[in-house]
């Protein structure tokens, strides 16, 4: 996300090289592998944008003051929902390729037959479209209204946003659950977990927090966030630490309950991910998504150390990607796949995300200057 224009050709070149590899994947590596990669990156972009918008709505919901000076960062990150929409609409073509419940032979499976209407391509597509419309409405009200307030200085927006925030939380709960059960759990529709939506929420919120921390540190490096102090950074570090523990708790609780019950239709999900080469991925996920960030942020001083927070934030974004890979890619077979197709998708989408976020960081003021509580937020001290 550097401002140096010399880096733009490098990003565009990476995207172009990645695009060639993406096309090559569709032609040479098989449709299943192409669509698994596409769904992976759609879910990552969508959850990153959704988690960022959740941070914005949470501030309005609880009338937080300390976070007002940094609110513009998750507002800008939430605009990732805009490119996520066309990526998601394209991903609908993956349904007959990857999702067993959408195929005609599902009628002969007594479990899937009972879910036939829910898993059908038309209803799946309608749910996805409704989810996208709802989050775009939230984006327009919470982010569009905040940008407009920079010009109008109208405090009525704060009242409107606070009234809308509870409704958005209901929208968020619905949408994150649909993403979890349709796009991820739908790959193995015989399997079911009551708390799977909460697990995906934890990952989405963590990714939004990590991206917010990285962008805040980037803007501070550019001397563009005067007034934002270590105490603001400490609170963000505290949230990052807390939800690292929350994600781990939900993930372990889900596994422990299924292990204890030992029901065949439940344990098969983990049996695949604890066998062969997938076992190493599972151990790595536990290491990078919990153990390393937990001990890196456990002290008070660490939560406001810019260097450490930057490393942990990068680690958490990588861990979120690995988590989604661990959830999605076992549908392709017993062994993890990582070679030129996955690298091509990474080049294409990481380059695109970086270019988008860098552009978003230039839109509007770096702080919500029209918010009447900005001064109070800048005076925040622990």
In this prediction, residue 4 carries a pLDDT of: 44
Q: What separation in angstroms does the CA of 346 have from each of 37, 50, 321?
A: 9, 20, 10
What confidence tens digit (pLDDT) does each residue in 146-200 have? 999 999 999 999 999 999 999 999 999 999 999 999 999 999 988 889 899 999 9
Query: What DSSP assignment string belongs to 107-170?
Result: GGSHHHHTTHHHHSHHHHHHHHHHHHHHHHHHHIIIIIHHHHHHHH--THHHHHHHHHHHHHHH
The SS3 assignment for 368 reads coil
Q: How many CA atoms lie within 13 A of 257 on its CB side?
A: 11
Mapped to the 3 state alphabet, what secondary structure does 16-73 carry? HHHHHHHHHHHHHHCHHHHHHHHHHHHHHHHHHHHHHHHHHHHHHHHCCCCCHHHCHH
Q: Tokens representing 210?
A: 């990590």
CA–CA separation, 203 vs 200, rounded Å?
5
Is residue 56 domain-resident? yes
Q: What separation in angstroms does the CA of 213 have from each of 11, 233, 353?
A: 22, 8, 16
Q: Tokens representing 101?
A: 């419940």
| pLDDT at 6 exceeding the cut of 50 | no
Q: Which residue shows structure tokens 């697990």?
A: 199
Of 232-246, 257-271, 303-317, 320-334, the range with the lowest mean pLDDT is: 257-271
What confidence tens digit (pLDDT) does each residue in 342-378 have? 999 999 999 999 999 999 998 889 999 999 999 999 9
Is residue 1 domain-resident? no
Nearest to 75 by CA among 2, 142, 152: 142
What is the average pLDDT score of the chain? 92
Of 211-220, 277-286, 331-340, the range with the lowest mean pLDDT is: 331-340
Is residue 2 domain-resident? no
Q: Tokens representing 312?
A: 């942990």
Give the percent of the chain with pLDDT over 90.
75
Is residue 97 domain-resident? yes
In this prediction, residue 114 carries a pLDDT of: 81
Is residue 110 domain-resident? yes
- If one counts the domains in the chain, the total is 1
| pLDDT at 59 exceeding the cut of 70 | yes
CB-CB contact of 374 with 27 (8 Å)? no
CA–CA separation, 212 vs 365, rounded Å?
16
In this prediction, residue 229 carries a pLDDT of: 86
Q: How many C-beta neighbours within 10 Å does residue 226 have? A: 12
Q: Model confidence at 7, in pLDDT bands (50, 70, 90)? A: low
The mean per-residue pLDDT over the stretch 123-146 comes to 96
Torsion of CA 196, 239, 55, 181, to 10 degrees: -10
Is residue 305 domain-resident? yes
In this prediction, residue 106 carries a pLDDT of: 78
Q: How many C-beta neighbours within 10 Å does residue 69 have? A: 27
Record the pTM. Answer: 0.94
Q: Model confidence at 93, in pLDDT bands (50, 70, 90)? A: very high
| pLDDT at 76 exceeding the cut of 60 | yes
Question: 145: domain range?
Answer: 7-378
Q: How many C-beta neighbours within 10 Å does residue 163 have? A: 10
Residue of 335 and 139 predicted with greater confidence: 139
End-to-end CA distance of the chain: 30
What confidence tens digit (pLDDT) does each residue in 231-270 have? 999 999 999 999 999 999 999 999 999 998 888 888 888 9
| pLDDT at 215 exceeding the cut of 80 | yes
Is residue 111 domain-resident? yes
CB-CB contact of 235 with 59 (8 Å)? no
In this prediction, residue 192 carries a pLDDT of: 85
| pLDDT at 131 exceeding the cut of 80 | yes
Burial of 62 (0-12, 13-18, 19+ CB in 10 A): exposed
CB-CB contact of 77 with 52 (8 Å)? yes
Is residue 218 domain-resident? yes
The SS3 assignment for 364 reads coil
What confidence tens digit (pLDDT) does each residue in 104-126 have? 887 778 778 888 888 899 999 99
Torsion of CA 95, 96, 100, 104, to 10 degrees: 140
CB-CB contact of 349 with 48 (8 Å)? no
């Amino acid at each position: 996300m550097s401002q140096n224009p010399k880096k733009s050709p490098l990003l565009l070149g990476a995207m172009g090289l990645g695009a060639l590899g993406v096309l090559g994947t569709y032609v040479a590596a098989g449709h299943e592998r192409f669509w698994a990669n596409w769904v992976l990156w759609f879910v990552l972009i969508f959850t990153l944008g959704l988690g960022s918008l959740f941070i914005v709505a949470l501030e309005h919901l609880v009338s937080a003051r300390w976070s007002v000076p940094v609110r513009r960062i998750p507002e800008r990150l939430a605009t990732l929902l805009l490119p996520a929409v066309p990526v998601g609409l394209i991903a609908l073509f993956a349904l007959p390729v990857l999702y067993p419940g959408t195929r005609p032979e599902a009628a002969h499976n007594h479990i899937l037959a009972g879910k036939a209407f829910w898993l059908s391509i038309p209803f799946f597509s309608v749910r996805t479209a409704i989810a996208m419309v709802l989050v775009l409405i939230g984006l327009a009200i919470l982010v569009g209204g905040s940008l407009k307030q920079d010009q109008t200085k109208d405090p009525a927006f704060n009242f409107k946003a606070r009234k809308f925030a509870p409704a958005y939380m209901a929208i968020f709960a619905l949408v994150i659950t649909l993403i979890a059960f349709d796009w991820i759990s739908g790959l193995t529709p015989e399997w079911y977990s009551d708390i799977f939506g909460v697990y995906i929420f934890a990952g989405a919120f963590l990714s939004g927090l990590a991206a917010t921390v990285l962008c805040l540190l980037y803007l501070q490096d550019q001397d563009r966030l005067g007034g934002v102090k270590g105490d603001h950074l400490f609170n963000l570090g505290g949230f990052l630490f807390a939800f690292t523990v929350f994600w781990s708790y939900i993930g372990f609780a889900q596994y422990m309950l299924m292990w204890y019950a030992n029901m065949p239709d439940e344990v098969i999900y983990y049996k695949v991910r604890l066998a062969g080469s997938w076992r190493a991925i599972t151990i790595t996920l536990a290491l990078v998504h919990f153990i390393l960030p937990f001990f890196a942020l456990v002290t008070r001083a660490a939560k406001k150390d810019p260097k450490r927070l930057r490393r942990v934030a990068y680690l958490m974004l990588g861990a979120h990607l690995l988590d989604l890979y661990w959830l999605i890619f076992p549908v392709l077979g017993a062994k993890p796949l990582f070679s030129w197709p996955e690298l091509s998708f990474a080049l294409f989408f990481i380059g695109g995300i970086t270019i988008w976020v860098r552009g978003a960081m230039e839109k509007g003021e770096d702080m919500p200057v029209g918010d009447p509580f900005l001064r109070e937020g800048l005076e925040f001290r622990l």
